[in-house]
Amino acid sequence: MEFFELAIGSIFINNIILAQFLGICPFIGTSKKMETAVGMSMAVVFVMVMAGMITWSVDTFLLKALNVEYLRTLSFILVIASLVQFVEMFLKKMIPGLYAGLGIFLPLITTNCAVMGACLLNIGNEYHFTKALVSSFSYAIGFGLALILFAGVRERVNLGRVPKPLQDTSIGLVTAGIIALTFTSFRGMV
């Protein structure tokens, strides 16, 4: 039950994009087409879960054990950057089909603040390992949900006649605001 509440809370109420403002760049950048949105969401689920597990272990067994918590930022970004590189090489060799699907989105994830943000939130909330795993996974699902919903809306919006100064990113942000407004109604659910 505890995990269920955490999952619902992380997907809907504290949605990583629409409530916590993490990962806005890929949210705006990859939502013009549905395929890219789906590719990015899959890549994020994959990397965020792995990064969540590894950074939790690094923090607990290395940084806290050695009393060097001030190195957290530096070590987390190193872990994430090398993880992304490793995942890329691994997929290229072992699962070429998935690699072709995720393609260019993998390297972009290094500078996706949602991944690093989710890891930092896990540590900040002092979750134990299983909780960190569940929350990383649910944050990633929340990311995918928001991104895919937004891509669907944006494809339709771009068909309409948008006033010139509002075009592209600007109308995208206004649309995102309206989606965020609908997400605020999930508050009080858990």
Partner 1 sequence: MAQSLVKEFKKGLWAEIPPFRLVLGLCPVLAVTKSVENGIGMGMATTFVLVFSNLLVSLLRNMIPPKVRIACYIIIIATFVTIVELVMQAFTYPLFLKLGIFIPLIVVNCIVLGRSEAFASKNPPVMAVADGLGIGIGFTLSLSAISIVREFIGAGTITIWGGNPVFAMPEWFTPLSFMVEAPGAFLALGLMLAGMNLIGSK
In the complex, minimum distance from the CB of residue 79 to partner 1, in angstroms, rounded to a whole number: 11
User: Among the residues of the chain, which ranges form H helices?
Assistant: 2-8, 24-29, 34-57, 64-66, 72-94, 96-102, 105-108, 113-124, 129-159, 169-184
Q: Which of 38, 45, 120, 149 binds partner 1 (CB under 8 A)?
A: 120
**Contact residues for 14 (Cβ-Cβ < 8 A; gap 6+):** 20, 142
User: CA 69 to CA 75: how far, in whole Å?
Assistant: 10
Q: Establish if 174 lies at the interface with partner 1 (CB under 8 A).
A: yes
Running DSSP on this structure, what letter comes out for residue 31? -
Q: How many residues bind partner 1 (CB under 8 A)?
A: 45
Which range touches partner 1 (CB under 8 A), out of 5-13, 74-82, 91-99, 139-147? 74-82
Residue from 43, 52, 63, 117 that binds partner 1 (CB under 8 A)?
117
d(CA 144, CA 179): 14
- Residue 99 binds partner 1 (CB under 8 A): no
Backbone torsions φ then ψ of 163, nearest 5 degrees = -55, 145
Rounded Cα distance, 187 and 8, in Å: 11
Measured from the CB of residue 12, what is the shortest distance to partner 1 in angstroms? 13
Q: Is residue 112 near partner 1 by the rule CB under 8 A?
A: yes
Tell whether residue 166 is a contact of partner 1 (CB under 8 A).
yes
> Cα separation of 35 and 40, whole Å?
9
Binding to partner 1 by CB under 8 A, coded x per residue (else -) over 126-165, reads -------------------------------------xxx
Nearer to partner 1, 13 or 98 (CB): 13
Contact residues for partner 1, defined by CB under 8 A: 18-25, 28, 70-74, 76-78, 81, 110-113, 116-117, 120-121, 124, 163-167, 169-174, 176-178, 180-181, 183-184
